[in-house]
Structure 1
Amino acid sequence: MAGDTKTKIKNYQTAPFDSCFPNQNQTRNCWQNYLDFHRCEKAVTAKGGDVPVCEWYLCVYKSLCPISWVAAWDDCRAEGMFPGKI
C-alpha cells in the first residue's frame, strides 16, 4: 500500500476528483488540503515520524491553490494569526 502511494505521488499531475467537493469551485478543497497537510505534518513530527507521509496533501493543495493564497496563509501561520485550526 505504501508503495502504491509513493507511485501515485511520483506520477502526480493534478488533483483527482474528490466526491466531497463535487462542484467546479475548488476553493474549499484547496483550503481543506492545506489544513490537512499542516495537521499531518504536525502530528507526524510530534511522533518523530517521517514527514513525506504527508506529501499527498502537499501535492493536492499546490495544484489547487493560488500561490498568493498559500503565501498569505504561510505568513499568517508564522505570525500566529492563522484562522484555521491546525
Structure 2
Amino acid sequence: MAEDIKTKIKNCKTLPFDSHFTNQNLTRNHWQNYLDFYHCEKAMAAKGGDISMCEWYRRVCKFICPISWVLA
C-alpha cells in the first residue's frame, strides 16, 4: 500500500481539482495544504510512522505557492 502511494506521488505532475477551492486565488488552498502537511508530519512522527506519506501535501504546497512563501 505504501509503495502504491509513493508511486502516485512521484507520478503526480499537476494538482487534481479540489471543489473546496474553486476560485483562481489559491491562497486558501496553499494555507490548507501547508497545515495538512505539518499536521500529517506531526501525527506520523508521534505514531512512529513513515513521514514520507505526507509528501503529497508538501509537493502541492510547493507547486501552488509563491516561492517567497515556501520555506522548505
Quote the offset at 1:66 in angstroms. Answer: 1.1
Count, aligned residues: 71
Q: Matched residues in 2 for 1:66 and 1:27: separation?
A: 10
1:64 match: 64
Quote the offset at 1:6 in angstroms. Answer: 2.1
Q: Which runs of 4+ in 1 moved over 2 A?
A: none
1:13 match: 13
Quote the RMSD (CA, aligned, Å): 1.5
Q: Matched residues in 2 for 1:16 and 1:59: separation?
A: 12
2:32 match: 32
Gaps of 5+ in 1: 75-86
2:45 match: 45
Quote the offset at 1:7 in angstroms. Answer: 2.4
Contact 1:34 1:57 (8 Å CA) reproduced: yes
Specify the SS of the correspondent of 2:68: helix
TM-score calculated relative to the size of structure 1? 0.74
1:23 match: 23
Q: Matched residues in 2 for 1:32 and 1:26: separation?
A: 10
Q: Matched residues in 1 for 2:33 and 2:46: separation?
A: 20
Match of 1:65, as an amino acid? C
